[in-house]
């Protein structure tokens, strides 16, 4: 029977060993012990330039990396001349859940979409096709909070995945997922019902797109880069 | 046969319920100037927007005298029995401190923006709306550019004068 101090010391050494292994392959790592006994969460991260292709009209978009300067004006600077408006959704916002930003409004208006983050999706209305480019940091994994009943979520990765694989950890709480692909003018809305895959036409989660989640019970969606 | 059809309907019910989900509609955003009795409305003045069925869809308490917005007027969720706000194309009404203000017809649109100036009291209060005390973003940027150009002009003029004009005292 080992002494508890020895077991704890062995766990710490194992955690350091795992962190060192990741350090050898990844430019930057953040280690966090989430439980005193067993779980070590390794979050990888690196600085990148993020690029999202947008079309004229409404886009349901998200950025895959966390912006270096999160202010809405800074993140959207590259599309400022074509941007009509940007809208975010805060499930905890009471009766005022929508936050908006419109660069054409007079400077005395209070614009309440203050920041852009990788874990949220946004409606962007554009006057013409554009590319949104900003500097930021990618993280893996990222945790996207999902709130009952509706969340406008981001998809913080640069990898497309089969939606059943993407949602495998949270499928029990998800009722429906919606994606708006403005390029598909005939049928822009795609939907995925976990309980009825046969009725679904959303097959993949795709970088650059925001997702509307309809969920029962709050949860956290882990997205791997 | 009937029993089989009933069973099929019962099996389909949860799916039909899923299909009935409606994504939250974006609100219509309003902003503008508020004048009461020939003066800009004071800080704290409450501007409300209501739909034609008597539902308040949004409000804004002024944070600086005379200017409100952006005021979010949320729309109706068509999948619920409750009327949460206006539907697309429905007229909205503006109320300032409990008093309805007559405006041009303003139709609600999801994701729309609208400037609606509000006047309570004598018509000559319109002067404050026509010549607002504050300038818009575009105008302030133009003023900044003008100031920068003036400074550059002054600097280059001074430099030219220093280079061209004779220095070192008088020549008799």
pLDDT in tens, B62-112: 999 999 999 999 999 887 888 999 999 999 999 999 999 999 999 999 999
Report how far residue A158's alpha carbon sits from residue A137's, in angstroms, rounded to the nearest whole number: 12
Output helix, strand, coil percentages for chain A, rounded to the nearest 5. 15, 40, 45
Helix (H, G, I), strand (E, B) or coil at B5: helix
B→A interface, C-beta within 8 Å: 14-15, 18-19, 21, 23-24, 26-27, 29, 31, 58, 63-64, 67, 69-70, 72, 74, 111, 113, 134-137, 140
Distances (CA, A) of A102 to A50, A119, A127, B29, B36: 22, 21, 13, 10, 27
Closest-CA residue of chain A to B56: A95
* HEC per residue, A106-118: CCCCCCCCCECCC
* Sign of the torsion formed by the C-alpha atoms of B28, B31, B35 and B41: positive
What CATH number does the domain containing B88 carry?
Answer: 2.60.40.1120
Report how far residue A40's alpha carbon sits from residue A21's, in angstroms, rounded to the nearest whole number: 14
Contacts of B69 in chain A (CB under 8 A): 105, 109-110
**CB B64 within 8 Å of CB B43:** yes
Q: B163 lies in a domain?
A: no
More confident of the two residues B24 and A34: B24
Contact A195 B21 (CB under 8 A): no
pLDDT at B142 exceeding the cut of 50: no
B141 contacts: CB under 8 Å, gap ≥ 6 = none
Q: B66 lies in a domain?
A: yes
pLDDT in tens, A90-139: 999 888 999 999 999 999 999 999 999 999 999 999 999 999 999 999 99
Report how far residue A90's alpha carbon sits from residue A82's, in angstroms, rounded to the nearest whole number: 25
Report how far residue A179's alpha carbon sits from residue A125's, in angstroms, rounded to the nearest whole number: 16
Q: What does DSSP say about strands B46-51 and B92-96: parallel, antiparallel, or unpaired?
A: antiparallel
Q: B156 lies in a domain?
A: no
Helix (H, G, I), strand (E, B) or coil at B67: strand
Q: Nearest-CA distance from B58 to chain A in Å?
A: 8
Q: B164 lies in a domain?
A: no
**CB A154 within 8 Å of CB A62:** yes
The reported pLDDT for the residue numbered B127 is 84
**CB B28 within 8 Å of CB B110:** yes
- Computed over every residue of chain A, the mean pLDDT equals 89
Determine which helix (DSSP H) or strand (DSSP E) holds A36, and give its type and residue range.
none
Q: B123 lies in a domain?
A: yes
Contact B69 A110 (CB under 8 A): yes
- Identify the residue among B20, B59, B117, B137 best suited for mutation to test binding to A, counting A beta carbons within 10 A and taking the highest: B137
* Residue (of A91, A110, A157) closest to B29 by Cα position: A110
Domain count, chain B: 1
Give the CB-side neighbour count of residue B151, counting CA atoms within 13 A. Answer: 6
Q: Which domain holds residue B52?
A: 23-130
Report how far residue A116's alpha carbon sits from residue B98's, in angstroms, rounded to the nearest whole number: 36
Q: B111 lies in a domain?
A: yes
């Amino acid at each position: 029977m080992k002494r508890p101090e020895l077991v704890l010391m062995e766990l710490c050494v194992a955690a350091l060993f795992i962190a060192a292994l990741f350090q050898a392959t990844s430019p930057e790592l953040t280690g966090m012990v989430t439980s005193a006994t067993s779980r070590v969460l390794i979050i990888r991260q690196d600085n990148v330039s993020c690029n999202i292709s947008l079309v004229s009209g409404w886009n349901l978009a998200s950025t895959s990396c966390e912006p270096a300067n999160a202010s809405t004006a800074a993140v959207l600077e590259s599309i400022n001349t074509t941007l009509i408006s940007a809208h975010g959704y805060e499930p905890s916002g009471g009766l005022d859940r929508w936050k908006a930003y419109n660069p054409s409004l007079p400077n005395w208006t209070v614009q309440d979409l203050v920041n852009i983050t990788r874990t949220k999706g946004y409606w962007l209305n554009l006057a013409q096709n554009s590319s949104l480019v900003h500097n930021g940091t990618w993280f893996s994994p990222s945790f996207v909070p999902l709130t009952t009943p509706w969340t406008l979520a981001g998809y913080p990765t640069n990898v497309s995945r089969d939606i059943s694989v993407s949602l495998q950890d949270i499928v029990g709480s998800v009722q429906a997922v919606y994606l708006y692909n403005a390029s598909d003018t005939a049928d822009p809305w795609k939907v995925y019902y976990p309980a009825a895959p046969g009725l679904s036409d959303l097959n993949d989660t795709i970088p650059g797109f925001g997702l509307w989640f309809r969920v029962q019970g709050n949860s956290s969606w882990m997205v791997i880069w | 046969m009937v029993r089989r059809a009933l069973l099929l309907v019962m099996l389909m019910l949860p799916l039909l319920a899923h299909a009935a989900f409606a994504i939250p509609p974006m609100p219509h955003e309003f902003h503008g100037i508020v004048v009461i009795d020939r003066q800009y409305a004071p800080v704290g003045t409450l501007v409300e927007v209501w739909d034609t069925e008597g539902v308040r869809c949004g409000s804004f308490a002024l944070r600086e005298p005379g200017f409100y917005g952006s005021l979010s007027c949320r729309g109706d969720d068509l999948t619920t029995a409750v009327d949460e706000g206006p539907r697309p194309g429905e007229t909205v009404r503006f109320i300032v401190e409990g008093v309805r203000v007559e405006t041009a017809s303003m139709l609600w649109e999801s994701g729309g923006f609208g400037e609606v100036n509000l006047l309570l009291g004598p018509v000559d209060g319109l002067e404050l709306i026509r010549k607002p005390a504050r300038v818009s973003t575009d105008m302030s940027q133009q003023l900044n550019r003008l100031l920068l150009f003036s400074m550059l002009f002054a600097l280059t003029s001074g430099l030219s004068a220093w280079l061209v004009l004779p220095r070192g005292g008088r020549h008799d």
